[in-house]
Structure 1
């Protein structure tokens, strides 16, 4: 599994797929934050509902920021941090473990399959040669 990286740049296809995974993950995390708040609100002795909501929304925002930073070398590292924090959110809402494992599997799959696809795309672009300036449409 040498294509699983924790730091560094990825190809165009790979970083787009990783950003897509984080975008979908942010929606699930935001919904999980609402569930955590609602569960905490039903427990009258526990006043942590607002804290769960704020932390969950922060994690959802971190997903979106990480998706936007996938082109940077440390964007992948931030994505791994998001994956770990998503799994940790299962301490508050146990079903987030299923969500975390699902998105972790997608994350690893994109890292593993993305590198060969990027290599194939680069090979095809090199075989096609430089673009013909006459084919360019201005306007």
Structure 2
């Protein structure tokens, strides 16, 4: 099974990492929207500065929504859409391509490493569950003094 998924449930650690990536990405996208508006405003013949700002703020809001929906199976799919739209925003602000590549690399890294961490945590919980037969709630074994 490939750790890079496009749809489906992720582990607790993975979806938290992915949500963190999207949260940071939203800040960069919102700043990129301000740059796009300023660039368009300096062009005398361009009247699309407000449109760039609205679309950029919408994409930043989509990042935040996607971060909140990471627990859902389609939250990962929405995160991939955000990654693609961030790369597509380079058509307006070329430096957004670098930002998009950076966050895409973080996204894929969090998917791959997060799946490994979740698998290791599940393995440790399963191992600890088998050895807790004689343990109290605090994890210590009962001791009977005679």
Do they fold alike, i.e. is TM over 0.5? yes
Shift of 1:127: 1.9
Q: Deviations over 1:4-55 (max 9, x none)?
A: 1000000000000000000000000000000000000000100100000000
Shift of 1:138: 29
RMSD: 4.6
Q: Cα distance 1:49–1:115, how it changes in 2: closer, same or farther (>3 A)?
A: same
* Mapped partners of 2:30, 2:106: distance in 1: 18
Structure 1 unaligned blocks of 5 or more: 129-133
* Mapped partners of 2:145, 2:25: distance in 1: 38
* Mapped partners of 2:60, 2:145: distance in 1: 40
Shift of 1:125: 1.5
Q: Deviations over 1:55-79 (max 9, x none)?
A: 0000000000000000000000000
Shift of 1:126: 1.8
Which of these two proteins has the greater Rg computed from alpha carbons? 2
* Mapped partners of 1:137, 1:18: distance in 2: 48
Structure 2 unaligned blocks of 5 or more: 129-140
Structure 2 equivalent of residue 131 of structure 1: none
Q: Cα distance 1:122–1:92, how it changes in 2: closer, same or farther (>3 A)?
A: same
Q: Cα distance 1:46–1:72, how it changes in 2: closer, same or farther (>3 A)?
A: same
The alignment's TM-score, normalised by the length of structure 1, stands at 0.91
- Other structure's SS at 1:4 match: coil
Structure 1 stretches of 4+ with a deviation exceeding 2 A read: 134-139
The alignment's TM-score, normalised by the length of structure 2, stands at 0.86
Q: Deviations over 1:62-113 (max 9, x none)?
A: 0000000000000000000000000000000000000000000000001111
| Corresponding pairs, count | 134
